[in-house]
Amino acid sequence: MELNHYFKLHPHVAIAFSGGVDSAYLLYAATKFAEKVHAYYVKSAFQPQFELDEAKRMAKQLRVDMTVIEVDVLQCSEVTANPADRCYFCKKHIFTNIAEQAHKDGYNTLLDGTNASDDADDRPGMKALKELSVLSPLRECGLTKEEIRRQSKEAGLFTWDKPAYACLATRIPTGEPITKEKLECTERAEDFLFSLGFTDFRVRMPGTAAKLQTPASQIEKVIENRTAIVQELKRYYSAVTLDLEGRNE
């Protein structure tokens, strides 16, 4: 099925919008083919400020109304305990809030940006989406991440080459409790690395230390900025380490 036909079947849609590559392209397609569309962005302790800023920028570019919903995920004990299926509980909590607000606004069809490259067997969050009857047009229409990036570039969307970004909670090892303080340390550390020009990296938090994971091509840049990085990150962590294997590029 093509997206234009999909939106003929679902003309009035609410979109769970993160500001990432996939949801941005889905929102763009909806502006072309749906009769009515509204974007919903969830602001929680798991999302850094720059994600909200970029979501607002994209909504403005596409001239789409966007509602920002404040959700306190740290009030959900199943989430803060950080089990292996944390994403299931988090998604259910977040999408329940989106669905409730969308319904109040007159939308009964909620979409998300899951694509055909996403492995359902490795994503407990997809179980929550299914339980809440959230539809995933990109996945259902067979659009892969590579194809979405290509079409996003053709459409002039600034998100076309945006690196994949997982929420801040993923920096804390499974089984270690998630706290507001740990998330704030992570966001500050990653903001600092962004300011130095690093991209597609993670600052993991095993215990009380920081573990930097950058693409292999940026490891030399880490060494060049070692003093500044250590000085800044030691404000939040007991030690600073570097993963020499590098992230996959």
Count of beta carbons in the 10 Å neighbourhood of residue 237: 20
Asked if 31 and 151 sit in the same domain, the reply is yes
Asked if the structure places residue 165 within a domain, the reply is: no
Asked if the structure places residue 128 within a domain, the reply is: yes
**Domain termination site, one of 108, 123, 155:** 155
Asked if the structure places residue 167 within a domain, the reply is: no
Rg, C-alpha atoms of the chain? 19
What kind and span of H or E run contains 22?
helix 21-33
pLDDT digit string (tens) for the chain, length 249 residues: 899 999 999 999 999 999 999 999 999 999 999 999 999 999 999 999 999 999 999 999 999 999 999 999 999 999 999 999 999 999 999 999 999 999 999 999 999 999 998 776 557 778 899 999 999 999 999 999 999 999 999 999 999 999 888 899 999 999 999 999 999 999 999 999 999 999 999 999 999 999 999 999 999 999 999 999 999 999 999 999 999 998 875
Asked if the structure places residue 185 within a domain, the reply is: yes
What are the residues whose beta carbons fall under 8 Å from the beta carbon of 233, sequence distance 6 or more? 189, 192, 203, 210, 240
Q: Which domain holds residue 202?
A: 179-242
User: Structure tokens of 12?
Assistant: 């009035």
Based on the structure, what is the number of domains in the chain? 2
Cα three-residue angle 243-235-196, rounded to 5 degrees = 60
Asked if 19 and 91 sit in the same domain, the reply is yes
Asked if 31 and 110 sit in the same domain, the reply is yes
Using CA atoms, how far apart are residues 130 and 51, in angstroms rounded to an integer? 25
Asked if 126 and 49 sit in the same domain, the reply is yes
Ramachandran sector of residue 175 (left: φ over 0; alpha: ψ -120 to 50; beta: rest): left
Strand segments, DSSP code E, in 145-232 are 202-204, 210-213
Asked if 44 and 137 sit in the same domain, the reply is yes
CATH code of the domain in which 216 resides = 3.30.70
Q: Is 2 helix (H, G, I), strand (E, B) or coil?
A: coil
Asked if the structure places residue 75 within a domain, the reply is: yes
Q: What is the pLDDT of residue 165?
A: 83
CATH code of the domain in which 148 resides = 3.40.50.620
Cα three-residue angle 126-99-130, rounded to 5 degrees = 25
Asked if 124 and 19 sit in the same domain, the reply is yes
Asked if the structure places residue 218 within a domain, the reply is: yes
> What own/partner pairs with CB < 8 Å and gap ≥ 24 does 153-157 have?
155/25, 155/28, 157/24, 157/25, 157/28, 157/58, 157/61
pTM: 0.90
Asked if 187 and 231 sit in the same domain, the reply is yes
Asked if 49 and 150 sit in the same domain, the reply is yes
What kind and span of H or E run contains 233?
helix 226-233
Asked if 143 and 196 sit in the same domain, the reply is no
**Domain termination site, one of 155, 187, 203:** 155
Asked if 121 and 218 sit in the same domain, the reply is no
Asked if 132 and 199 sit in the same domain, the reply is no
If you count them, how many residues does the chain have? 249
Asked if the structure places residue 106 within a domain, the reply is: yes
State in Å, rounded, how far the first CA of the chain is from the last one: 31
Asked if 106 and 193 sit in the same domain, the reply is no
Asked if the structure places residue 50 within a domain, the reply is: yes
